[in-house]
Structure 1
Amino acid sequence: MSHLITLATCNLNQWALDFEGNRDRILESIKIAKERGAKLRVGPELEITGYGCLDHFMENDVCLHSWEMYAQIIKKEETHGLILDIGMPVLHQNVRYNCRLLSLNGEILFIRPKIWLANDGNYREMRFFTPWMKPGVVEEFTLPPEIQKVTGQKTVLFGDAVINTLDTCIGAETCEEIFTPQSPHIAMSLDGVEIITNSSGSHHELRKLNKRMDLILNATGRCGGVYLYANQRGCDGDRLYYDGCALIAVNGKVVAQGSQFSLKDVEVVTATVDLEAVRTYRASVMSRGLQASLREIKYQRIDVPIELAPKNSRFDPTIVPSKARDVSYHKPEEEIAMGPACWMWDYLRRCNGTGYFLPLSGGIDSCATAMIVHSMCRMVVKEASEGNKQVIEDARKITRSGEDWIPTDPKDLASKIFHTCYMGTENSSKETRDRSKELSRCIGSYHVDFNMDNLVSSVVSLFEVATGKKPVFKIFGGSQIENLALQNIQARLRMVLAYLFAQLLPWVRGIKNSGGLLVLGSANVDECLRGYLTKYDCSSADINPIGGISKTDLKKFIAYASKEYELPILDEFLNATPTAELEPITKDYVQSDEIDMGMTYDELSVFGYLRKVEKCGPYSMFLKLLHEWTPKLTPAQVAEKVKRFFFFYAINRHKQTVLTPSYHAEQYSPDDNRFDLRPFLINPRFTWASKKIDEVVKQYDAHKTEELDIMSID
């Protein structure tokens, strides 16, 4: 015996405050779900407003416009015939909640507020919303007058309830709730809820999808049942990229999974599931039966007189349950290729930009940034070849092309929207200049190459005339402060030139009705963490695709791109010594990033992870690394590295306050504006922690001395 029903969940590329656009994408997803025979459609968290409205959620206009859009959705007859699970903010008794609204045939069944709010890392939900702290409790909610006219209802139930159809029971949880120790789906499953929805606004981080999948599969593996996961997709107006990957799982196995990275604005995932398989799975575990009989929460059931299974589906040989499948994961290198690329495409098309401008230095960071743009162009061409009308329309708009033009070649597209520039000085090498030029040729960017020595000399001469002093590089006998100032002026002038060329290159090329280009930054997360960048240099840009990615991962990405895109020029970038090329090159001296920083990029990744993710201060970080890095390093050497890191992190913390908005990809991002909320003026010596570290080093050395003495006696 079987009991088959078809269910739908989706990835939607919603945009903060784009009420009409968000409405239309919701309607499109409902249309597709109905065409596929689904009886339940689930959408992402806060899909009517877009998840990332931030402080806009505090404006009552947002609630008002949400109701207006919701009314337009449910009153359309084409949205009838299936249960809709739609997300939006709702004011109940003057308290703002993050809610799911479940409806059928233009009538609201009930409103389910979020119980556990995401309030760490990138999330500040308790700044905007209040959690519903009454599990299993419902109250009466008076609908706004304009909604009463549409639905014919004056009140609906508001709270933690479930829907009871003629053949199954449906409950809803929202995003963060599955990450909590006592997730709502546990109590729901024990109370007989067979289908659980999760509407999410979950952002992408490298290697994060595994954790999300583990939670979902473990939940349905332990509790049994059908789980529908929906997610936001795309850049909805800030640093985060929501990576979709909607899925449907049954009894711990995935039966349908959407894409993680895609330029499609609407993607609907459907599966046909067998409820009898759920019932058999649950009933076969005796301990589950005992816990269900002793359950603490009995949910109020809202009866809906419909059957989700089509008539006679139990005997229709043409309807079969979806088969279990392996979960699809991308390697981190692929995530870097696709995640920031999708984010950049959304940013470009939604800001009405003409294209991107990148200072291409010949180093691996700007190379990686250029390759992400190349990946973006490849994705656009692929979507256009598959007939994605939205992508084609956006490409025509960005390139100012005619109605018949379709992007068919990544290099051709790049030639229209991607501009690169090598800004050389007497400190630049022929190798970096040649690498930049060749990379530009391979990917098709419009490239400019010039020397800026006259500009640098003019600024230094101006300083000399004004002060009577002329700074010289350290290698020629100058002081450290002179050396640093002469490097910084080059870096800052490159920022000025970047914006000049970004504004005027479209004009130079005769591109009509075009604005300026968006300037791309290319400082990686490790350099930002260490402060190894000049404040207001060419790391100051409009957006930075790699600002949340470590040097180690960027190298892996370049190695991957060299083979995947058949670009052997990338191997030259990969094998080159990282250098800023801001000091003179001599027979005996070539500037090196890692020597300048006093630590390797691999070490920086470890420091960043321990500081941010493991929440380590100097002392606890030293103790952890003492166990991990000895005996390769002595305790004194470990202590010196930890102190050095925290010193430079602290004195450069002020730079994080003006970091270019970056794609968030790493858990230890130092982004001051949203993710890493620490003061920018602190004592860089960490004197007390340093004393405790020194005491441990002394104890360790004394212990070693005792061991040596004993060995000599023996």
Structure 2
Amino acid sequence: MRLLKVATCNLNNWALDFDCNLKNIKESIGRAKEAGAVIRLGPELEITGYGCEDHFLELDTVTHAWECLKDLLLGDWTDGILCSFGMPVIKGSERYNCQVLCLNRKIIMIRPKLWLANDGNYRELRWFTAWKQKDQLEDFQLPNEISVALKQKSVPFGYGFIQFLDTAVAAEICEELFTPIPPHADLALNGVEVFMNASGSHHQLRKLDYRIRAFISATHSRGGVYMYSNHQGCDGGRLYFDGCSCVVVNGDMIAQGSQFSLKDVEIVVAQVDLDAVAGFRGSISSFQEQASCKTKIPSVAVPYNLCQPFNLKMSLSSPLKINYHSPEEEIAFGPGCWLWDYLRRSGASGFLLPLSGGADSSSVAAIVGCMCQLVVKEISNGDEQVKADAIRIGHYANGEFPTDSREFAKRIFYTVFMGSENSSQETRMLAKKLADEIGSWHLDVSIDTVVSAFLSLFQTLTGKRPCYKVDGGSNVENLGLQNIQARIRMVLAFMLASLLPWVHNKPGFYLVLGSSNVDEGLRGYLTKVFDL
């Protein structure tokens, strides 16, 4: 038996937060080593954070990434363990999205991404170039400071795999898995048994099933060990990355991480028998025939054994039932985790939401309530980082910390019903009832006097006073009156968010939450911010 223990991870890394990112990377390596793993895979662009956007075009971003890599390689972090780190690399005049494969304080190979994600939420072609020389590995001159520190002048760069004494390992980066002809197809025919997919995949409703089916398909007809690592959390932008790092062997899921979690670092470990991969491939006649006339892919030879000798105390990871959340759970957990991640890094003391009692604002309020429940649950599970963040944001003292989600919501969540003469008593009651269930600090405000003041000012200026269509007004008057109320509510929301903490002797400010739906957002109906 050729036993191999591998570790992949969910990391909550933040764009351009190099110190925090490096800390998380080191913690993940430490946990992988402690578990006995000899391969550690991290997410795509984990050193810089995936969401740097146009900061990828700045030389400092690449320079700091090399400094972090140097820190990792000068220490003992890569001793006895193959580590794949994601970072941008400039070669010549091109900038590439790369996986840097390191072992025993040396860079073994740099693998640039072949196919870039450039649709939907992704714009990788704006910042990176796709590697097109698929039939060769080139010699890459390391930056001088790195070369001197590592005593290593150059490293193979390009599309290829690493040939160890006892197995072959290759990288396949995120989008490449989903292309019509994915790299793992030819790599498998060239004898690669372990595939490492570093990813930056955002959460989208029911997307996880599509992703997992791709992992299973990659190894169901070709065999192999497929490792997948992903970011988890808010990377500084609008997207939530939903983790779910996993390991698949010969079409079976054998290890799966969480999809929604507040943890900064999560490790998924699996122990596999590579002889099972060889046996699986040997039983497929078509695989043998196609392998005999394969397209040859270049490799880097490393005289090192990754596999461990057989030990009776070692047990293989068994196939498991894939864990999927219901659509309702995804809708609650994904935005809830994103909100917590954004809040804890923003410097704010909580959220303020104009709560009308309607479906849109009530849904946002429920998601914040879910966030509070997740925080309390993680604290009860012993997560010290979540506990420290909750104590800081909620301004707990004397050793106290959140133990009840409603009590926590009272500290960090304001809801405000901004009613007018046109508001119904039913919506007012629904808003109050939901606020009580969540535990928010709820206010009931009438904006009629402010609206009247605006109309009086308009009448003084023009001599006319608009009225609603039901009262005989025109479409123009009707729209203008509706817009006045929306704008007043916006200004009031931001005033309350900035001053209510002061009223309650709390430091900081609150973040204003909007609750427009997609249609309103596209039509420009949402009123949230303005410039003078």
Classify the TM-score, shorter chain.
over 0.9
Deviates more, 1:519-528 or 1:266-275: 519-528
Partner Cα separation in structure 2 for residue 301 and residue 405 of structure 1: 57
Partner Cα separation in structure 1 for residue 125 and residue 392 of structure 2: 39
1:534 CA drift (Å): 3.3
RMSD over equivalenced CA pairs, Å: 1.2
The yes-or-no answer on 1:528 pairing with 2:514 is: no
What is aligned with 2:62?
A: 63
What is aligned with 1:408?
A: 403
Q: Which amino acid aligns with 1:301?
A: S
Partner Cα separation in structure 2 for residue 336 and residue 433 of structure 1: 25
Equivalent residues of 2:99, 2:111 under 8 A apart: yes
SS of 1:84's equivalent?
A: strand
SS of 1:119's equivalent?
A: coil
What is aligned with 1:590?
A: none
Q: How does 1:690-701 map onto structure 2 within 5 Å?
A: none
- Which structure: greater strand fraction? 2
Report Cα offsets for 1:184-207 as digits up to 9, x if no partner: 111100101000110000001111
SS of 2:51's equivalent?
A: helix
What is aligned with 1:23?
A: 22
SS of 1:325's equivalent?
A: coil
What is aligned with 2:255?
A: 256
Partner Cα separation in structure 1 for residue 358 and residue 148 of structure 2: 63
TM-score, normalised to structure 1, is 0.73
Q: How does 1:547-586 map onto structure 2 within 5 Å?
A: none
Q: How does 1:136-285 map onto structure 2 within 5 Å?
A: 136-285=135-284
Q: How does 1:666-685 map onto structure 2 within 5 Å?
A: none
Partner Cα separation in structure 2 for residue 126 and residue 483 of structure 1: 46
What is aligned with 1:361?
A: 356
Q: How does 1:655-666 map onto structure 2 within 5 Å?
A: none
Q: Which amino acid aligns with 1:76?
A: G
Partner Cα separation in structure 2 for residue 339 and residue 464 of structure 1: 48
| Equivalent residue in structure 2 for 1:501, among 496, 501, 525 | 496
Report Cα offsets for 1:137-165 as digits up to 9, x if no partner: 11111111221233211111111121111
Q: How does 1:244-393 map onto structure 2 within 5 Å?
A: 244-296=243-295, 298-311=296-309, 313=310, 316-393=311-388
Equivalent residues of 2:271, 2:317 under 8 A apart: yes
What is aligned with 1:43?
A: 42
Partner Cα separation in structure 1 for residue 351 and residue 454 of structure 2: 28
Partner Cα separation in structure 2 for residue 535 and residue 86 of structure 1: 41
1:326 CA drift (Å): 1.7
Q: Which amino acid aligns with 1:191?
A: N
Equivalent residues of 1:4, 1:274 under 8 A apart: yes
Partner Cα separation in structure 2 for residue 441 and residue 359 of structure 1: 15
Deviates more, 1:72-81 or 1:265-274: 72-81
The yes-or-no answer on 1:478 pairing with 2:473 is: yes
SS of 1:358's equivalent?
A: strand
Deviates more, 1:192-201 or 1:384-393: 384-393
Q: Kindly tell me: are residues 198 and 403 of structure 1, through their superposed partners in 2, closer, same or farther at Cα, counting changes over 3 Å?
A: farther
Q: Kindly tell me: are residues 285 and 94 of structure 1, through their superposed partners in 2, closer, same or farther at Cα, counting changes over 3 Å?
A: same
Equivalent residues of 1:235, 1:242 under 8 A apart: yes
Equivalent residues of 1:488, 1:534 under 8 A apart: no
Q: Which amino acid aligns with 1:205?
A: Q
Equivalent residues of 1:353, 1:517 under 8 A apart: yes
Report Cα offsets for 1:464-485 as digits up to 9, x if no partner: 1111111111111111111111
The yes-or-no answer on 1:518 pairing with 2:476 is: no
Q: How does 1:73-88 map onto structure 2 within 5 Å?
A: 73-88=72-87
1:401 CA drift (Å): 2.3
Stretches of structure 1 that go unaligned for 5 or more consecutive residues are 542-657, 659-714
Q: Which amino acid aligns with 1:305?
A: P
The yes-or-no answer on 1:457 pairing with 2:452 is: yes
Equivalent residues of 1:492, 1:534 under 8 A apart: no
SS of 1:216's equivalent?
A: helix
What is aligned with 1:692?
A: none
Q: Which amino acid aligns with 2:509?
A: G
SS of 2:180's equivalent?
A: coil
Partner Cα separation in structure 2 for residue 443 and residue 96 of structure 1: 48
1:89 CA drift (Å): 0.4
Report the structure number with the largest CA radius of gyration: 1
Partner Cα separation in structure 1 for residue 108 and residue 151 of structure 2: 12
- The alignment-based identity, stated in percent, is 52
SS of 1:102's equivalent?
A: strand
Stretches of structure 2 that go unaligned for 5 or more consecutive residues are none
Partner Cα separation in structure 2 for residue 406 and residue 354 of structure 1: 15
Partner Cα separation in structure 2 for residue 50 and residue 358 of structure 1: 30
Partner Cα separation in structure 2 for residue 71 and residue 433 of structure 1: 59
Partner Cα separation in structure 2 for residue 301 and residue 487 of structure 1: 67
What is aligned with 1:101?
A: 100
Equivalent residues of 2:376, 2:402 under 8 A apart: yes
Q: Which has the higher contact order (CA 8 A, sep 6+)?
A: 2
SS of 2:221's equivalent?
A: helix
Partner Cα separation in structure 2 for residue 402 and residue 152 of structure 1: 51
Equivalent residues of 1:4, 1:320 under 8 A apart: no
Q: Which amino acid aligns with 1:107?
A: K
Partner Cα separation in structure 2 for residue 152 and residue 526 of structure 1: 58
SS of 1:33's equivalent?
A: helix
Equivalent residues of 1:164, 1:170 under 8 A apart: yes
TM-score, normalised to structure 2, is 0.98
1:108 CA drift (Å): 0.7
Partner Cα separation in structure 1 for residue 31 and residue 397 of structure 2: 30
Equivalent residues of 1:31, 1:79 under 8 A apart: no
What is aligned with 2:435?
A: 440
Partner Cα separation in structure 1 for residue 365 and residue 302 of structure 2: 54
SS of 2:102's equivalent?
A: strand
